[in-house]
Structure 1
């Protein structure tokens, strides 16, 4: 799929980004208030904010998104990049778009001097986990949450 282009989210692309974002939330059976979606979008297009995003395009059709942020770390000088959201539309899955989005964030992370790029997924997400097992080393950590 050499006609796939991955590039940073642009301020005029909310109309194309939002269905991907809402599809991502729906996949995980989550909802957020519209104000949170608005706030997320504003942070994505604010160059001063650490959250960044990329969209995979085929022509003028947005097929997938990835959103990530660089944060400080106590274990290295360059910080770590957390890949928070990764989503590919169902009709575009199996075309290596997820792999290409991860590769793009990997290169960006290296350019930023990050020490680690990491992410998580739900146990049930077997399709994504098969990809992740091919492109990364599974971490031995167990995550705990306190909902606030």
Structure 2
């Protein structure tokens, strides 16, 4: 088994979409993915790309993904790295691929002078929470995730 962790490249778009769909299935939202190969190529590799990814490659095939972007913390006065999605296929679970993806993100955060890495986890995903605790992460307290989308977002924008 040859495991490689690297920055995603345009040639990875089809595998990345496959992993995003697999993540949606795992998270019990199989019909939620609206991303396409074209939208991923544009947002990750287009001229104004502000979203990035690392892949875990097993014997030449992407079997894990960490998709992230940079945010900013006014409290620290420094950027933060926000991990949007982390997913490792069954083939790689238990091999250290998840930890290796996080190590790559930690190096990225350090290179960008980020104060922290933030992400969210579903409340029922005890396996993920145990993994995050194991690598030294802690659950945030006091903040609730909020979102505006769809018709509400459209209505707000048109006011």
- Fold-level match, TM-score > 0.5? yes
What SS is found at the alignment partner of 2:78? Answer: coil
How far off is 1:48 after superposition? 3.6
| C-alpha distance after superposition, 1:78-102 (max 9, x if no partner) | 2111111000002321111111111
1:23 aligns with 22
CA contact (8 A) 2:42 2:49 kept: no
| C-alpha distance after superposition, 1:50-100 (max 9, x if no partner) | 210011012212110000111122112321111110000023211111111
4+ residue runs over 3 A deviation: none
Structure 1 vs Structure 2 CA RMSD? 1.8
Q: Please report the TM-score for the alignment, with normalisation by the length of structure 1.
A: 0.88
How far off is 1:47 after superposition? 6.0
How far off is 1:45 after superposition? 1.8
Q: Please report the TM-score for the alignment, with normalisation by the length of structure 2.
A: 0.82
Residues 63 and 80 of structure 1: CA distance in aligned 2, closer, same or farther (over 3 Å) = same
Flag structure 1 segments of 5+ consecutive residues without an equivalent. none
Structure index of larger Rg:
2
1:123 aligns with 123
1:80 aligns with 80
Report 1:1-148 matches (<5 A): 3-30=2-29, 31-34=32-35, 38-46=38-46, 48-135=48-135, 136-148=137-149
Task: Measure, in 1, the Cα distance between the counterparts of 2:128 and 2:41.
Answer: 24
Residues 106 and 97 of structure 1: CA distance in aligned 2, closer, same or farther (over 3 Å) = same
Task: Measure, in 1, the Cα distance between the counterparts of 2:142 and 2:105.
Answer: 22
Residues 140 and 83 of structure 1: CA distance in aligned 2, closer, same or farther (over 3 Å) = same
